[in-house]
């Protein structure tokens, strides 16, 4: 579980995130949505402790408000940032192994090798494991980075939750791999895995999220299940467009913009 209260981040005199209080449970797919500049990526950085808030706090399950060391945190928390660039000509296998660096010094163990093999199979990149990752397409490279961040927290830590933060993970993916990734993410959900992601596609968010947080101008405009968050009024307030909302299954909305 992650709990945050009053999170605020100020840059150049502007409140990018302004008094945000949220709670995300394990075993659920938690997604953050909102227009450009709403503070989504900054909120993710605050929640993942990549940056410190100017006000408010973030607590991870069991830390009692005491922040872990970076070395300890790296073993249970993995972050996929929006723009990941590795300019060196590394093999795919080597890039994925980077996710295991917090778990070993010197040489990787058999468990580290196992984690990498399993995540490469999961994301269908085991067939290119020996290729220079720079020769891959943008979508293939994105799947390599999926494998890298998941390898970091692949094995459960006894008595501790694991945390996965994903900032626009569907970038560069075609529609098949977008759905494939979201379904695989759902299949990975366990009570000890807390997943928080940022998505732009409102219909994919509605289709897959267990809970949504809609940000607007750095504040929470709405939070809860998709059918409660993605109302015509909320979408118009956040995005300036009023969609037609269909509910073919009686619950999860599909947004149509004219």
Per-residue pLDDT tens digits of the chain, which is 258 residues long: 999 999 999 999 999 999 999 999 999 999 999 999 999 999 999 999 999 999 999 999 867 556 778 888 999 999 999 877 787 889 999 999 999 999 999 999 999 999 999 999 999 999 999 999 999 999 999 999 999 999 999 999 888 899 999 999 998 899 999 999 999 999 999 889 999 999 999 999 999 999 999 999 999 999 999 999 999 999 999 999 999 999 887 778 999 998
Residue 206 has a pLDDT of: 95
Res 66: pLDDT: 64
- Structure confidence at residue 62 (pLDDT): 61
User: What pLDDT is recorded for position 65?
Assistant: 52
Closest CA to 116 of 97, 92, 140: 97
């Amino acid at each position: 579980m992650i709990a945050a209260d009053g999170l605020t981040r100020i840059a150049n005199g502007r409140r990018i995130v302004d008094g945000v209080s949220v709670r995300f449970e394990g075993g659920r797919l938690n997604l953050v949505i909102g227009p450009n500049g709403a503070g989504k990526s900054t909120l993710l950085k605050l929640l993942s402790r990549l940056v410190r808030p100017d006000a408010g706090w973030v607590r991870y399950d069991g830390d009692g408000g005491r922040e872990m060391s970076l070395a300890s945190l790296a073993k249970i928390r993995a972050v996929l940032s929006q723009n990941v660039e590795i300019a060196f000509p590394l093999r795919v296998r080597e890039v994925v192994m980077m996710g295991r660096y917090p778990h070993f010094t010197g040489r990787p163990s058999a468990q580290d090798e196992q984690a990498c093999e399993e995540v490469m199979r999961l994301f269908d990149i085991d067939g290119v494991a020996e290729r220079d990752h720079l020769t891959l397409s943008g979508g293939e490279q994105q799947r390599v980075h999926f494998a890298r961040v998941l390898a970091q927290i692949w094995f459960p830590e006894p008595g501790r939750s694991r945390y996965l933060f994903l900032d626009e993970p569907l970038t560069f993916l075609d529609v098949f791999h977008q759905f494939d990734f979201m379904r695989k993410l759902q299949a990975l959900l366990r009570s000890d895995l807390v997943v928080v992601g940022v998505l732009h596609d409102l219909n994919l968010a509605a289709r897959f999220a267990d809970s949504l947080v809609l940000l607007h101008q750095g504040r929470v405009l709405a939070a809860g299940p998709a059918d409660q968050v993605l109302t015509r009024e909320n979408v118009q307030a956040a995005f300036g467009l009023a969609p037609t909302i269909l509910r073919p299954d009686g619950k999860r909305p599909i947004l149509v913009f004219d």
